[in-house]
Amino acid sequence: MAFNFILVIAITLIIAFFLSKFLFKGKTKNLPKGSLGYPLIGETFSFLRAQKQDRGPEWLEERTSKHGPVFKTSLMGSPTVVVVGQAGNKFVLGAEDDVLAAKQPVTLVAIAGKQNIFELTGSRYRLVKGAMVSFLKPESLQNYIKQMDELTKTMLLRETENKDTIKTVVTMKKLTFNIASSILFGIKDEHTKEVLFDDFSLAFKAVWSLPVNFPGTVYWRGLRARSRIVSRILPILKERREEISKGTLSATSNVFSCLLALRDENEQPISDDLILDNYVTLMVASHDTSAILLSLMIWKLSTDPEIYKKVLEEQMDILRKRVEGAEDRLTWAEIQKMKYTWRVAQELMRIIPPVFGSFRKALKDTEYGGYDIPKGWQVFWVSHGTHMNKEIFEKPTEFDPSRFENPSKPIPPYAYIPFGGGLHTCIGNEFARVEVLPTIHNLVTMFEWSQVYPDEIITRQPMPYPSMGLPIKIKPRKL
């Protein structure tokens, strides 16, 4: 019986392979060089394995050295054209939505939802993006600096209470999830946040997995986690909608209220499904990428005494210059003074970008670099091709925050892209900054720490993290 099942699977894969060859034959004149890999699976396993070992750049270089900066492969169940370099970044990130749309892999669509902002186009995209931007712009975020400072202090004290060692990655994920839940969505209940945190952890792992919905798989667990998230958020949406109608909640209080107050071109409210999909998307985008950056910054400060000394000096100087009798809370003006600390973050994102690359989908036949890209294929851009290019960044392998202070030559567009670029610049880039800086401020001014494993390496899963979770020995700073 088992042999028959394996035989059926093998025959199906072989038929699918030859059928795909037949279907694509003749439809395009000049596909890029490269390999589509195994039937259905493509090169997904080798790509994910390279990511886990933080060998993504080597995986790319093996193929670009053989095929050039444009090559074909198959990733996450879809044929894919990979473009490497500044021109490729500009082609993808600057393309109009009717040519290349932010159609993500099936795994991300399943977890985030079909109406997440990356999938929307036209008027619906502009409507949802406008609501989010109205809350995420600097003028709005500066009103939440004191609250963010207080949340960060409280979380750090709670997570370090009666402990001399903490796991940095887990702590930073909890902290950023708490901040995003409280400030972006106004979710205050601690139990609700804890349960949602556990489910989001499962859901995020499923985003970069094979779309095999079989009991026990990562993808299966992620889908079930998303269902639980939706069930828990629906009553909150109902409650917020009632508060808005009664006038007890402002339409600008948080992202939920902004979305609930939206009206489409027919003056109809947008659906709960659309709000839920964008809640899941924004939570994944807002808390996990910031947790990565914070973990990497703590790792860097642990291993580089000179960088640590300069960051500590800048943050202590902010405390020293506070007017006597002033409230013991960070202000927007103080955040703007953290210039060196942010340059350290910028340099970390150059050398170890939180997002290795991102997918878009061809909505019609197009071409790039003299090659055809068929309608329906994915296009994948990567940050490595420009971030480590010595013609763009002098001595690119050296860690040098000053390159963002007064660069000898301006960084060209689409070359430094930790937050995307052009039409597709991340709308949460300012939120990331004002989330990271208060956390680092409180951490270095309140505590001293050292790594448990000084030789700990970075791995991608799929985001870059210290491989052992970065346990640190931590103690209160003596002022």
pLDDT tens string 327-369: 788 999 999 999 999 999 999 999 999 888 888 889 999 999 8
Residue 45 lies in a domain: no
The pTM (predicted TM-score) of the whole model is 0.85
Residue 40 lies in a domain: no
Residue 447 lies in a domain: yes
Residue 16 lies in a domain: no
Tokens at 181, concatenated: 């839940």
Residue 7 lies in a domain: no
Helices (H), ranges, 261-322? 272-283, 289-303, 305-320
DSSP classification of residue 285: I
By C-alpha distance, which of 386, 370, 318 is closest to 71? 370
Distance in angstroms (rounded) separating the CA atoms of residues 218 and 216: 7
CB 70 within 8 A of CB 368: yes
Residue 77: left (phi > 0), alpha (psi -120 to 50), or beta? left
- Predicted confidence at residue 322, as pLDDT, reads 85
The radius of gyration computed from the CA coordinates of the chain, to the nearest angstrom, equals 23
Tokens at 222, concatenated: 């992620």
By C-alpha distance, which of 179, 402, 448, 148 is closest to 288? 179
Tokens at 273, concatenated: 């499904």
DSSP string computed for 74-116: EETTEEEEEE-SHHHHHHHHTS-TTTEE----HHHHHHH-TTS
Residue 156 lies in a domain: yes
Map residue 459 onto helix, strand or coil.
strand
Distance in angstroms (rounded) separating the CA atoms of residues 177 and 185: 11
The number of beta carbons lying within 10 Å of the beta carbon of residue 434 is 23
Binding residue ranges for heme? 426
Residue indicated by tokens 């070992």: 53
- Predicted confidence at residue 323, as pLDDT, reads 75
Distance in angstroms (rounded) separating the CA atoms of residues 453 and 461: 19
CB 453 within 8 A of CB 159: no
- In sequence order, which residues have a C-beta less than 8 Å from that of residue 121 and are 6 or more positions away? 97, 98, 101
Binding residue ranges? 426
- 125 pLDDT band, cuts 50/70/90, is confident
CB 432 within 8 A of CB 289: yes
- 77 pLDDT band, cuts 50/70/90, is confident
Residue indicated by tokens 């003299």: 370
The number of beta carbons lying within 10 Å of the beta carbon of residue 19 is 11
pLDDT tens string 169-223: 999 999 999 999 999 999 999 999 999 999 999 998 888 787 888 898 999 999 9
The number of beta carbons lying within 10 Å of the beta carbon of residue 420 is 20
Tokens at 49, concatenated: 């394995």
Residue 360 lies in a domain: yes
Q: What are phi and psi of 176, to 5 degrees?
A: -70, -35
User: Which residue type, as a one-letter code, is found at position 102?
Assistant: A
Helices (H), ranges, 322-451? 332-336, 339-351, 384-387, 429-446
pLDDT tens string 386-422: 999 988 998 999 999 999 987 677 889 999 998 888 7
Residue 322 lies in a domain: yes
Map residue 432 onto helix, strand or coil.
helix
**Number of structural domains in the chain:** 1
- Predicted confidence at residue 181, as pLDDT, reads 94
Cα-Cα-Cα-Cα dihedral of 291, 297, 298, 304, to 10°?
170
Q: Which domain holds residue 254?
A: 53-476
CB 433 within 8 A of CB 110: no
- Predicted confidence at residue 315, as pLDDT, reads 97
In this prediction, what percent of the chain has a pLDDT beyond 70?
Answer: 92
CATH of the domain at 250: 1.10.630.10
Distance in angstroms (rounded) separating the CA atoms of residues 171 and 469: 10
